[in-house]
Amino acid sequence: MLSKTIEETLNNQIKIEAESSQIYLAMAVWAEVKGLEGVSNFMYAQSDEEREHMLKLIKFVNERGGHAKISQLAAPNITFNSFKEMFEKLLEHEVFVSESINELVHISLEERDYATHNFLQWYVSEQIEEEAVARTILDKINLIGDDKGGLYLFDRDIENLTVTSASAEGLE
């Protein structure tokens, strides 16, 4: 059984994951309109992944005797000055999500809710990977600079981007 504190913080995380999905969906649409098909497809996939993260939390809350809440979401930003700015916002958002997950882990330990703590470890590892991907993308964008040919190759290759974070090594 979830404590009210844990239930409330998990419901807040459900909202954060839903908003993440919307933010990345807006980024996908922006990139698609700009002709960045690879970036767009990458962001559509990211949006889907965040929705899966939300659903996983919803199921957990309900299975533990809580009541998952579906709440109103903040409207995402729909325009960006550049695709570099878009990915900077993506990294900034992933850091925010990591901080939120870390706070949840802290609360679960304070509450001695070891089942929730154990469940959240997947999210901790996932966030390490998400931040690593965003940083790798920004490194590549910085390498490209203003090179249009580099942007073309980046857009083509981003769909196949794989980053193995230190937390994921040895888990395969």
The CA distances from residue 107 to 11, 74, 167, in Å, are: 13, 25, 22
CB 119 within 8 A of CB 109: no
Q: How far apart are the first and last CA of the chain?
A: 32
Alpha-carbon distance of 159 to 161, in angstroms, equals 6
100 exposure class (CB count in 10 Å sphere: 0-12, 13-18, 19+): middle
Q: Could you give the CA distance from residue 140 to residue 133 in angstroms, rounded to a whole number?
A: 11
Q: What amino acid is encoded at 48 in this protein?
A: D
Structure tokens at 4: 């009210």
The answer to whether 93 is a known ligand-binding residue is no
The annotation status of 17 as a binding-site residue, yes or no, is yes
94 is in an annotated binding site: yes
Element (H, E) at 125: helix 114-144
Annotated binding site for Fe cation: 17, 50, 53, 94, 127
Report the binding-site residues.
Answer: 17, 50, 53, 94, 127
